[in-house]
Amino acid sequence: MSTISDPGPFARELLHKLDLKPPIDVFFICDNFNIIIKNDKLRDFEAVFILHKGAKKIVLNENINYETRKNFTIAHEIGHYILPWHKQTMYICDSIDIQSFQSKKSEEVEANRFAAELLIPTEYLLDDIKNKEINIALIKQLAEKYKVSLTSIGIRIVENTYNPIALVLSENGKIKWSIKSKSFLKKILPNGTYLREQSFAFDFFNGNCIPAGPQMVYSIGWLENGSFYEYIKEESLQMPNLNMVLTLLTFENQEEEFNDNEFDDW
Ligand SMILES: [Zn+2]
């Protein structure tokens, strides 16, 4: 992967210039730059940004159902327009690059980071999570406030908290991706691993309901070096429409985890 430049300052400058506060109206931003938004058939692509003889257009895949996803995708395309080193006159953006946040293409990663900072500006987010217990209820509440998906806000919280927390998205019984805060020092099971029966997320894919609120589970359910002697706090949220489960992992006893020397590649 080529080097990623930080698009954050460009998103913040844009918000400042247009005097915008969350929830950010991406349509207003497009109006401001005379960027036309169109919905069209795009097969597997999420969206296209086109700059042609000074005219600017974003074409969105007409199959995008969720408003939050639409907002993020438009913010991503605005990133291609605003970031000065994004010089192509056309960006054809794959759903997988925008949705997975694990794209290998540097310009796609940058446009995603631009979108994340534009829709969930760090200064507001830090205020919203200060001295708060991070749980699914807070993730839901902030997703509502910023008009973004649960995963978008969840990722931003994990990136900006001092608490040892991790977020895991599971799909079809397997871990799709995970992200952890700097102080979460344990290794989560790798992407693509089948969920283990010691987790509540496993239950959802086996036809059972997940109890609301945090639950203590054996760490072997989620961690690479987990065991039946150690517990981890799991709060899982089933998303039946997407056949996915979003899981928040935390430790009851944070001190113990801080003293662990198991640093990995953060
Ligand atoms: Zn793109």
Distance 33 CA to ligand 1 centre (A): 18
Rounded Cα gap, residues 231 and 221, in angstroms: 9
Taking domain 8-119, whether its CATH number is 2.40.128 is answered by no
**pLDDT-flagged residues of the chain (< 70):** 1-2, 100-101, 253-266
Distance 90 CA to ligand 1 centre (A): 9
Neighbour count for residue 157 (Cβ, 10 Å): 24
Contacting residues for 13 by C-beta, under 8 A, at least 6 apart = none
What pLDDT is stored for residue 258 in this prediction?
Answer: 44
Residues, CB within 5 angstroms of ligand 1 (ion): 91, 93, 108, 111
What pLDDT is stored for residue 253 in this prediction?
Answer: 61
Domain ranges of the chain: 8-119, 123-258
What pLDDT is stored for residue 265 in this prediction?
Answer: 43
The model's pTM: 0.90
Rounded Cα gap, residues 148 and 66, in angstroms: 10
Q: Is 53 left (phi over 0), alpha (psi -120 to 50) or beta?
A: left
- Cβ atoms of residues 129 and 161 within 8 Å: yes
What pLDDT is stored for residue 240 in this prediction?
Answer: 86
User: Domain 123-258 is in which class?
Assistant: alpha beta
Distance 86 CA to ligand 1 centre (A): 10
Report pLDDT digits (tens) over 118-155.
999 999 999 999 999 999 999 999 999 999 999 999 99
β-strand pairing of 165-171 with 244-250: antiparallel
Q: Is 114 left (phi over 0), alpha (psi -120 to 50) or beta?
A: alpha
- Cβ atoms of residues 136 and 235 within 8 Å: yes
Distance 142 CA to ligand 1 centre (A): 25
Query: In the numeric block, which tokens belong to residue 23?
Result: 């929830």
